[in-house]
Amino acid sequence: MIKKSLKGLHVEYDLLKNIESGGCSAKLSPGRLEALLKGIPFSKNKNLLVGAETSDDAAVYKINDETAVIQTVDFFPPICSDPYLFGQIAAANALSDVFAMGGKAVLALNLVMFPADETDTDTLRHILQGGAEKISKAGAVLAGGHTIIDKVPKYGLAVTGIVHPNRIITNTNACVGDVIILTKSIGTGVILAGHKINETKHNDLNSAMDSMKQLNKKTAEIMQKYEIKCATDITGFGLLGHCHEIAAGSNVALDISAGKIPLLTGAYDLMNMGCIPCAAFSNLKFAEQYTMFSKQLDYNLKMLACDAQTSGGILLCSPQNKADNVVRELVDAGYSSTAIIGNVRVADEGSLYSMTLS
């Protein structure tokens, strides 16, 4: 929230005042998006190495034998009143798509939607400053952008990255026997929902914000070092939604241990008191078609696995003989909650279930 003086008047503009859902919880549900995309005739091109068919994090286009371009776009409504923090988180979230594919971010353009009748331009300026800080730390160049008038503020980036055509990390390369690793704790959706009703503790909210503004750049570098082939970032479809994309794209099944999934402090308690965001139910409706839930599964952990994440961690599949080293390096790089949460197995023949959560 920004306050300023204008002609002797006290002006206050709260970014959250017109927001029903912010961050990645504002995305279309995975089921609705899946149905929508069935009628879209996407382009075919020999140089389009990754397109929309596999629901991957970004598109990848081959320029030559040494370079492929990664292209992505992401924006959303505010998740906090602090404009600088919102800018940081929205930028980190958009940049994450490039990092999830093992790429290097090189260029970013701002995408801005902001009310026209607000006299407080400092709010928008702080959003852009927060975004610029993250773009710089990511090693990319901010080269402009586009703004339109909109009642509900929104901010994000169009990001261009590069990667060697033979080193692209996709969500379709999981192999039987791989270990499943998650680099950040989940629970941002429920933490933010709890904050709206004044139930989230101050320290828990700060921890969630710190997690969301943390760049996934170092994860990309570590994945390339260990020649990881399969990964995705966890955002609005929740952990289970993005697990399904890996399972379906790789024609494998994933076994996930709910008790090993790292959780943000306070997330379980909020879920236990019934603070369940609407997006979690939408994600569950989609995921339950493909998930075998253990009868002993804690309901709160089940819903947390469906919680819509904003600027979440990277879910990666590592060969078993590399997993311990990958985890150690990720923890040393600042992803302190990194954990092994499951493994990849052969898909059950004739079964719809691509995952088990126990």
Active site residues: 24
- pTM of the predicted protein model: 0.90
Instruction: Classify 179-357 by CATH class.
Output: alpha beta
Alpha carbon distances (Å) from 228 to 49, 167, 232, 309, 314:
18, 9, 11, 23, 12
Would you call 213 helix, strand, or coil by DSSP?
Answer: helix
> Percentages helix, strand, coil for the chain, rounded to the nearest 5?
35, 25, 40
Percent of the chain with pLDDT over 70: 89
Instruction: Classify 2-163 by CATH class.
Output: alpha beta
DSSP-assigned letter for residue 198? T
In the chain, where the domains are located: 2-163, 179-357
- The total of other beta-carbon atoms located within 10 Å of residue 259's CB is 10
pLDDT at 7: 36
**CA triplet 188, 235, 95: central angle to 5 degrees?**
110
Query: pLDDT tens-digit profile of 121-138?
Result: 788 999 999 999 999 999
Query: pLDDT tens-digit profile of 222-261?
Result: 999 999 999 999 998 999 999 999 999 999 999 999 999 9
Tokens found for residue 314: 């990277």
The string of DSSP codes covering 78-122 is -SSS-HHHHHHHHHHHHHHHHHHTT-EEEEEEEEEEE-SS---HH
